[in-house]
Amino acid sequence: MSATDVAAGRRPGATGAAAGYRPGATLSVRAEWRRQLSRRRTQVALGFMVLLPLIVLAAFQFGNGGDDTNGGGEFGSMVDLATTGGLNFTLFTIFVSASFLLVVVVALFCGDTVASEASWGSLRYLLAIPVPRSRLLGVKLVVALGYSALSLLLLAGTALTVGTLRYGWHPLRSTIAADLSPGQGVLRLLAVLGYLAVGLLVVAGLAFLLSVATDAPLGAVGGAVLLSILSSILDQITALGVLRNLLPTHFSSAWLGLLSTPVQLDDVVKGAISGIAYAAVFWSLAWWRFLRKDIVS
């Protein structure tokens, strides 16, 4: 330690860190947000969230003269109501995106974030700055969740904008509820988005766990998506009985209860608890694994 440091009263910490070293200043959320925004996969994913409602709108426009072959069930009902107003168009866009597209996008942001650094060989250099491992994971997780939430908002916001411009500002309609005024309809849509965000935490947690466990980004992203699909398939097997309640995707459609009159919250509450619990377990395992992992790439 130099005489200047002694005169200024600066001494090395008990951990041996250099004088003035602050772990909290090594990697900021803002810096990581900019890094991720500059990546092509982020730009493409966010761009597609804006493009999808336009594709759906164009499909309705070019398909107006076709036969009515929508079929029955929830999907057929959503299609029938999609062109009756901007709120209904937004609801339809969310409906067709929730089961697969949003799963892929969340898995992409959360599964690629750490594994990509390892595949590029830059992870060990980040830790050598040095960035504490827990801080690196925390910042990357916050940014990944932030971009996942932004994707969901872009999808709904774009659908609401183009749907309203094309079909007007009308009450929210569904086959399981009375017509809701536009103001109430917006609140119901926000509740649906909130529930979907909580449900997608399961995918985010699993993808993040796989991201710290492998150096292959595609493996982390694909693994999370495939396991989510597997859970959905098992949920269709009624022979499993009450065991299906333990599957992370069992309550994935509970958001439909938010559209009923009166609102059905039982499955919504169970789904929210399930999503948060699974995500907490996966993130805890990710931290445990990464803090003990030998970083060689």
The predicted structure's pLDDT at residue 8: 40
Task: Select the more confidently predicted residue: 123 or 142.
Answer: 142
Written as six digits, the tokens of 117 are 């650094």
Task: Select the more confidently predicted residue: 103 or 181.
Answer: 103
The predicted structure's pLDDT at residue 130: 78
Contact present, 95 and 125 (Cβ < 8 Å): no
Written as six digits, the tokens of 121 are 């060989």
Q: What is the mean pLDDT of residues 138-151?
A: 96
Chain segment 11-43, per-residue pLDDT in tens = 444 444 555 455 555 678 898 999 999 999 999
Chain segment 242-276, per-residue pLDDT in tens = 999 999 999 998 998 888 878 889 999 999 999 99
Residue 105 contacts by C-beta under 8 Å, 6 or more apart in sequence?
A: 45, 49, 148, 151
What is d(CA 92, CA 173) in angstroms, rounded to the nearest whole number?
11
- Distances in whole angstroms, Cα of residue 30 to Cα of each of 113, 118, 142: 15, 21, 11
DSSP string, 129-195: TT--HHHHHHHHHHHHHHHHHHHHHHHHHHHHHHHHHHH-S--EEETTEEEE-HHHHHHHHHHHHHH
Chain segment 213-233, per-residue pLDDT in tens = 988 889 999 999 999 999 999
- Of 66-80, 158-172, 181-195, give the lowest mean pLDDT range: 66-80
The predicted structure's pLDDT at residue 26: 66
Percentage of residues of the chain with pLDDT beyond 90: 56
Query: What's the mean per-residue pLDDT of the chain?
Result: 85
Confidence of residue 297 (pLDDT cuts 50, 70, 90): low
The predicted structure's pLDDT at residue 116: 87
The predicted structure's pLDDT at residue 177: 67
What is d(CA 157, CA 163) in angstroms, rounded to the nearest whole number?
10
In the chain, domain spans: 26-61+70-292
- Of 83-87, 128-132, 193-197, 270-274, give the lowest mean pLDDT range: 128-132
The predicted structure's pLDDT at residue 10: 43
Written as six digits, the tokens of 36 are 């991720």
Confidence of residue 9 (pLDDT cuts 50, 70, 90): very low
Contact present, 167 and 157 (Cβ < 8 Å): no
* pLDDT > 90? residue 3: no
What is d(CA 214, CA 216) in angstroms, rounded to the nearest whole number?
5
- Of 48-62, 78-92, 259-273, 277-291, give the lowest mean pLDDT range: 78-92
Confidence of residue 77 (pLDDT cuts 50, 70, 90): low
Confidence of residue 2 (pLDDT cuts 50, 70, 90): very low
